[in-house]
């Protein structure tokens, strides 16, 4: 065996081994990288250098700001208003609260890029409400977690920023525009399946609002939704960079929460910053260490080898794209989103580009694919959060989750094989 193959085995074998014994993912990435560098006698300074490089990018600076604004909105009453607004629109349908859940997630997706944040701020309001109105708990959790995945696809999304950076500068504006249609499409698909189940299980309709109430709710929630508008308009017109728009959004959310809604005191900012700090500690560590891991993979030419292997199996574009989706779904079952974007992008982007897929389209396909991973066992952060909010076991949630998986996979295939679903809006804007 050559030293390169031993190094590859060390790197990948140790990585999966450490994951199994509960070493945090960030360190399960970094430790094998250090050991491989020592084995190959490469100055291991390069590993620390790459960890720093990984988070040393002005574009990635958008992530802290998005997370802070998400936290402000979650704690400060913007998300509860979005739920009411959704209720005004779709509450009176059969299975009304399920529809509200999906639509609220579409709105929330427009201000946060985090599926976990969506489930943890919409779930505690809607899951108990649904239970009270006679919905089964498993269904309430299913709808909540499945629809939360929209937040990653509907712009803005910090995961798209990570992708844009690792993909070598795919335009963030284009990615944001490309996510709109698929996000709405996914929402409609989820509403269809939720409605079908609601009819079958005979869930109730909502009660509706008077015109006056409806107007008040709309007016108030629009202030919150403005955050999304600021970011998307700012980024796609080029007035602001993604980082700048994220900063402005955070300031806007701060302003709306503390000077207009005034539901929480300004002293809560300490709590908001502390919670953001915890989320960020996790995300930034993952980005740093997976950059080092990705460097080592590139050094060992693993991406090239995988590309050549995949292309040698079959020349069929359809087959290659299906295989790639399958690989990502399987990896998504055991790994979290940010490290997978960082590791899979350099490996798979060259393959899909050779198969004729646009990097922007691949970005969105990747987002949905890994988003599905957030609600699949054994490792699915959104699934865990949803189950704990609903107070039911993962096994029970899983039993009725199948129709939602199927719906999402159909959406995934549509995004993979119909380029215009993603590329239509960016092209309309001519960028």
Partner 1 sequence: MKRFLDLFNSFLEKIGMLFLLLMLLIVSTQVFARLTIKTTPIWSQEVATMLMVWFGFLGMAIGVNEKIHIAITFFTDRLPVIWKRMIFTIDEFLILFFGIAIVWYGSRLVYATRTSTLPATQWPAYMPYLMVPIAGAMIVLCTLINIADLIKFDSKDRLQKWGFNDDKH
Partner 2 sequence: SEEAAVDTPDETPAATETITMRLAEVHAEGYSTTMGNREFARLVEERTDGRIKIEVYPGGVLGDEKSVTEQVQFGALDFARVSLAPVTEFEPSLNVLMLPYLYKDGDHMFRILNGDIGNQLLANLEENGIVGLAWYDGGARNFYNTQREIKSPEDMRGLQIRVQETRLMMDLITALGASPVPLPFGDVYSALQTGVIDGAENNWPSYDSTGHYEVAKYFTVDEHIRIPEILMTNTKVMESLSAEDQEIIRQAAREAGEYQRTLWLQSEEESKQKVIDAGSVITYLESNEEFQEAVMPLYETHGAGYGDIIEAIINTN
Residue 194 as a binder of partner 1 (CB under 8 A): the answer is no
The secondary structure of residue 206, as a DSSP letter, is -
Is 31 near partner 1 (CB under 8 A)? yes
Number of residues assigned to the chain: 431
* Radius of gyration, alpha carbons of the chain: 22
3-state secondary structure of 315: coil
**Contact stretch for Na ion (CB under 5 A) within 70-78, 155-163, 296-304, 310-318:** 155-163
Closest CB to partner 2 among residues 62, 191:
62
Strand partners, 47: none
Using the contact rule CB under 8 A, the part of the chain among 197-205, 212-220, 270-278, 360-368 near partner 1 is 270-278
Q: What is the number of other CB atoms lying within 10 angstroms of the CB of residue 430?
A: 5
Instruction: Calculate helix-pair angle for 381-390, 137-148, nearest 10 degrees.
Output: 150
Cβ contact 243:269 at 8 Å: no
Binding-site partner at residue 270 among Na ion, partner 2, partner 1, none, CB < 5 to 8 Å by type: partner 1
Per partner kind, with CB cut-offs from 5 to 8 A, the member of Na ion, partner 2, partner 1, none near residue 285 is partner 1
Q: Does 61 participate in binding partner 2 (rule CB under 8 A)?
A: no
Q: Which does 212 bind (CB under 5 to 8 A by kind): partner 1, partner 2, Na ion, none?
A: none
244 makes contact with partner 1 (CB under 8 A): yes
Q: Does residue 356 come out as left (phi exceeding 0), alpha (psi in the -120 to 50 range) or beta?
A: left
Query: Contact letters (x/-) for partner 2, 206-245, by CB under 8 A?
Result: ------------------------------xxxx-x----
Integer angstrom CA distances of residue 275 from 39, 68, 282, 331, 346: 39, 9, 11, 28, 31
Please tell me whether residue 298 binds partner 2 under the rule CB under 8 A: yes
Q: Which tokens sit at 146?
A: 């499945």
The angle formed by the CA atoms of residues 110, 115 and 117, to the nearest 5 degrees, is 85
Contact between 170 and partner 1 per CB under 8 A:
no
Q: Which residues bind partner 2 (CB under 8 A)?
A: 42-43, 45-46, 49-50, 53, 58-59, 164, 168-173, 236-239, 241, 295, 298-299, 301, 303, 346, 431
Q: Which residues bind Na ion (CB under 5 A)?
A: 101, 105, 109, 113, 122, 144, 147-148, 151, 154, 157
């Amino acid at each position: 065996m050559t030293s390169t193959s031993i190094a590859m085995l060390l790197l990948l074998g140790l990585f999966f081994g450490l994951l199994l014994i509960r070493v945090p993912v960030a360190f399960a990435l970094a430790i094998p990288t250090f050991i491989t560098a020592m084995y190959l006698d490469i100055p291991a300074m390069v590993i620390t250098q790459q960890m720093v490089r990984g988070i040393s990018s002005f574009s990635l600076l958008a992530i802290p700001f998005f997370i802070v604004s998400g936290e402000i909105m979650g704690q400060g009453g913007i998300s509860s208003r979005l739920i009411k607004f959704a209720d005004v629109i779709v509450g009176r349908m059969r299975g009304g609260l399920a529809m509200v859940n999906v639509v609220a997630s579409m709105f929330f997706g427009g201000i946060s890029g985090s599926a976990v944040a969506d489930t943890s701020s919409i779930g505690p309001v809607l899951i108990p409400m649904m239970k009270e109105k006679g919905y089964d708990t498993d269904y309430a959790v299913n709808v909540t977690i499945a629809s939360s995945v929209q937040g990653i696809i509907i712009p803005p999304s910090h995961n798209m920023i990570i992708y844009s950076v690792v993909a070598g500068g795919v335009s963030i504006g284009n990615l944001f525009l490309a996510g709109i249609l698929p996000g709405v499409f996914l929402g409609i698909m989820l509403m269809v399946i939720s409605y079908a189940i609601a009819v079958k299980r005979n869930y109730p309709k909502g009660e509706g609002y008077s015109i006056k109430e409806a107007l008040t709710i709309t007016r108030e929630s629009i202030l919150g939704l403005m955050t999304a508008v600021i970011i998307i308009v700012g980024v796609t017109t080029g007035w602001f960079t993604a980082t700048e728009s994220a900063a402005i959004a955070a300031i806007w959310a701060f302003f709306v929460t503390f000077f207009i809604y005034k539901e929480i005191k300004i002293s809560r900012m300490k709590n908001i910053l502390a919670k953001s700090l915890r989320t960020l500690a996790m995300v930034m560590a993952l980005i740093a260490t997976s950059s080092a891991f990705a460097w080592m993979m590139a050094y060992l030419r693993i991406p090239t080898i995988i590309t050549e292997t995949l292309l040698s199996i079959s020349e069929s574009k359809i087959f290659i794209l299906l295989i790639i989706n399958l690989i990502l779904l399987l990896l998504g079952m055991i790994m979290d989103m940010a490290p997978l974007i960082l590791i899979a992008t350099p490996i798979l982007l060259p393959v899909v580009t050779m198969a004729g897929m646009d990097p922007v389209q691949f970005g969105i396909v990747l987002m949905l694919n890994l988003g599905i991973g957030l609600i699949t066992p054994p490792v699915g952060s959104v699934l865990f959060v949803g189950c704990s909010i609903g107070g039911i076991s993962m096994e029970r949630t899983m039993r009725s989750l199948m129709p939602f998986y199927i719906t999402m996979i159909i959406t995934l295939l549509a995004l993979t094989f119909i380029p215009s679903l993603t590329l239509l809006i960016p092209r309309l804007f001519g960028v």
